[in-house]
Amino acid sequence: QIPHAIGYDRDYEGDLSFFQPDDFTTLSELTHIFQFISPGAIIITIISLVILVLWERPVVKARHWLRLVPGPLVSVTAGIVMNQFLLQSFPEFAVTGEHLVRLPIADSGADLLNSITFPDFSQITNIHVYLTALTLAVVASLETLLCVEAIDKLDPQKRVTPTNRELIAQGAGNLCSGLIGGLPVTQVIVRSSANLQSGAKTKASAVIHGVLLLISVLLIPHVLNMMPLASLAAILLIVGYKLARPELFKRMYAAGLYHFVPFVATVLGLVFTDLLVGIGIGMAIALFCILLENYKTALYFHKKQKGNKTYIKLGENVSFLNKANILQTLDHLPDRSEVVIDATATRYIDYDVFEIIQNFKIEAEQKGIKLVIENLSGYGNIEPVSNALPHTKETQWFLTPGRVLEILQEGNRRFVHNLRSNRNLLEQVNITREGQFPMAIILSCIDSRTSVELIFDLGLGDVFSARVAGNVVNDDILGSMEFACKFAGSKLIVVLGHTHCGAIKGACDHVEFDHLTGLLEKIKPAIDSLATPIDDGSGSQVDVFVQNVAERNVQLVVESIKKESPALEAMRQHGDIDIIGGMYDIETGKVDFFLDN
């Protein structure tokens, strides 16, 4: 639009090729046009740009009556008025001829009908007709899709245009236009943006716009022919700036090279070739970047700083492109480490990659690597892992205390290996709204690091959770346990302590504070049952003592439950439930159960 803005209009509107028909290129044309500068065109362009910029300012938008008039309409009107003024006062500066819009004018209905050209069906076997039609269809479709993308971004309501419907409408329009000798149609950014700037809200605006254009071309072509191309160029320059402002380039760069490189390649391709080739270059480089990104991101792994443990989580689609990357990752794993390969999210895995992982099992044994492979059932298309569901009354009834313990141990194993069952929490909400059938009740500390639902990889409705500092027991908790086992069907009671417990440390230090004093008193029996260590100044003996007290406290709470609740003890003796203790290590995530109290 720069040539039109300064008055050089010899190159036809819409010529997007880098090599121009006049033996110039897009870049050399920009230097050549300065030999044909039109002062009048420059004046009109500047006035039009000023109006368009001012129309976007808050001072104009704040006035309702000004918002009713679109800025482009004001800009074009001002261009016409200014050019008419120049014609009257300074004719040497006025723009005429090729610098104005040039529409054919039909003086009568007969002239209009004579301008219609019907198809020459004698050329129906001419292969060049079909090649030209295919080229027009591809170029017009690409331009339409690009305009759709641009307009959707400009739309304040961020609606999404149905592209299939848009292309079908374009094809139907081109069929009708071609049958009467019309030019091929495509979506154009300037008309769509004009609709948006005019406050258009619905699809009817496009139809109304088309009808108004038709009426204008038929009834007032002489007025349209007064419009300077410089005014239209100013409108398109503003639209182009909105679509490609510097912030867009910064945002694309911030999105990463995989997005920025195809973006820049497309821009350069459009400038130095033409629309079709430029888009093709951009798509080819984008495809290469997608393959490269897929090669690098089909899996990710996180090395835990403590414990020499490596987690490898496979992506959804693991193709042969990822073979080298995965092989390199496995080859660099250290000896005598722990490795977890999680394929829970994988829906497709190439046979070569599957074979690499199977071979790694043998290599892992030789290197002393402790290997865990989760949910890798085969190669090719892999069935998705089923969602874990809450227990029903029937499944709960068939559970035994031993089986519940196995489920908790399996869940903790997944937790330790950074794995988790597939769960749709909203699905679980819908299932449990009619009732709950938890398999266990777990008494644990209030420590923020000891959430039993996470530690045992559980979901909604799986267990009752009772929490109190120091995992001590009182009548309220005993009553809750009796409800869980007798009336809700739970099969296992777990008293879960943990390492580095603040409540245990406070009891060992004889902390006294308001209500906390009474709570810590419940831990004193565990302290009294162990020999007090001699502090050697290093603190290690004290730490060991606190750990021993925590374990002893769990054992005493288990015995207290059996002793203070005859109902629960009777159910245990009958084999309906079991009551066990366990210790959670906050450094490793592992739970050790006390199966022999």
Read off the DSSP letter of residue 265. H
User: What pLDDT score does 521 carry?
Assistant: 95
Tell me how long the chain is: 597
Ranked by mean pLDDT, which of 216-225, 251-260, 426-435, 446-455 comes out on top?
446-455
- Residue 19 is classified by DSSP as B
For the beta sheet containing 348-349, the strands, ordered from the edge strand earlier in sequence to the opposite edge, are: 317-318, 348-349, 380-381
CA-CA distance, 530 to 542, in Å (whole number)?
A: 12
The string of pLDDT tens digits covering residues 470-510 is: 999 999 999 999 999 999 999 999 999 999 999 999 999 99
Task: Please state, in angstroms and rounded to a whole number, the distance separating the CA atoms of residues 571 and 410.
Answer: 25
Per-residue model confidence as pLDDT tens digits over 149-192: 888 888 888 888 889 998 999 899 888 988 988 888 888 777 78
Q: How confident is the model at residue 465 (pLDDT cuts 50, 70, 90)?
A: very high
Helix axes of 323-331 and 275-297: crossing angle, nearest 10 degrees: 30
- 289 pLDDT more than 50: yes
Residue 437's pLDDT is what? Answer: 96
Residue 307 has pLDDT above 80, yes or no: no
* Mean pLDDT value of segment 1-17: 76
Is the pLDDT at 597 greater than 50, yes or no?
A: no
Write down the pLDDT at residue 306: 52
pLDDT of amino acid 450:
94
Q: Which two tokens stand for residue 259?
A: 């997005």
Q: What does the buried/exposed string (b/e) look like for 172-203 if buried means 16 or more CB atoms within 10 Å of the residue's CB? A: ebbeeebeeeeeebbbebeebbbbbbbebeee
Copy the structure tokens of residue 372: 């865990």
Considering the chain, what percentage of its residues have pLDDT values greater than 70?
95
pLDDT tens digits, 107-166 = 888 888 888 888 888 999 999 999 988 888 888 888 888 888 888 888 888 888 889 998
Instruction: Using a cut of 0.85, tell me whether the model's pTM lies above it.
Output: no
Give the burial class of 453: count Cβ atoms within 10 A of its Cβ; 0-12 exposed, 13-18 middle, 19 or more buried.
middle
**DSSP sequence for 28-41:** HHHHHGGGG--HHH
Residue 301 has pLDDT above 60, yes or no: no
> pLDDT band for position 12 (50/70/90)?
low
Closest CA to 185 of 216, 144, 225: 144
Q: What is the pLDDT of residue 297?
A: 64
List the domain boundaries for the chain: 1-102+225-243, 106-219, 298-381, 393-594
Q: From residue 572, how far is each of 230, 486, 563, 577 by CA, in Å?
A: 93, 11, 12, 5
Q: Of 35-44, 464-473, 560-569, which gets the smallest average pLDDT?
A: 35-44
Residues 6+ away with beta carbon under 8 Å from 161: 148, 151, 152
d(CA 354, CA 66): 67
Least confident residue range of 194-203, 512-521, 541-550: 194-203
Q: What is the CA radius of gyration of the chain?
A: 39
pLDDT tens column, 210-261:
899 889 988 899 999 999 999 999 998 988 888 788 888 898 888 888 888 9
* Packed helices 566-574 and 540-564: angle between N→C axes, nearest 10 degrees: 90
- Kindly give the interhelix angle for 189-197 and 127-154, rounded to the nearest 10 degrees: 30
pLDDT at 325: 82
Of 356-370, 478-492, 550-564, minimum mean pLDDT range: 356-370
Higher pLDDT pick, 57 / 473: 473
Mean confidence (pLDDT) of the chain: 88
Q: What is the band of 49 on the pLDDT scale with cuts at 50, 70, 90?
A: very high
Band of pLDDT at residue 105, cut at 50, 70 and 90: confident
Q: According to the 3-state scheme, what is the secondary structure of 522-577?
A: CCHHHHHCCCCCCCCCCCHHHHHHHHHHHHHHHHHHHHHHHHHCHHHHHHHHHCCC
> What pLDDT does 299 receive?
56
CB atoms within 10 A of CB 334: 12
User: Distance between terminal CA atoms of the chain?
Assistant: 86
pLDDT given at position 572: 95
Q: What SS3 state is found at 56? A: coil
By the 10 Å C-beta count (0-12 exposed, 13-18 middle, 19+ buried), 152 is classed as: middle
For 497, the 3-state DSSP assignment is strand
Predicted local distance difference test score (pLDDT) of residue 190: 73
User: Running DSSP on this structure, what letter comes out for residue 385?
Assistant: P
DSSP states of 217-240 = HHH-HHHHTT-BHHHHHHHHHHHH
Q: Which CATH superfamily is domain 298-381 in?
A: STAS domain (3.30.750.24)
Helix (H, G, I), strand (E, B) or coil at 110: helix
Predicted confidence (pLDDT) at residue 549 exceeds the cutoff of 60: yes
Q: Does domain 393-594 have CATH number 3.40.50.970?
A: no
- Dihedral (Cα; 519, 525, 531, 537), 10-degree rounding: 0
**Contact assessment for residue 79 and residue 228, using Cβ atoms and an 8 Å cutoff:** yes
Contacts with 137 (C-beta within 8 Å, 6 or more apart), sequence order: 171, 174
Q: What is the pLDDT of residue 321?
A: 79
pLDDT at 33 over 90: no
Tokens of 489: 């069907």
More confident residue, 395 or 255: 395
Judge if 298-381 and 393-594 fold alike in CATH terms.
no
Two structure tokens written together for 153: 């971004």
d(CA 273, CA 266): 10
The span from the CA of 520 to the CA of 526, in Å, is 11
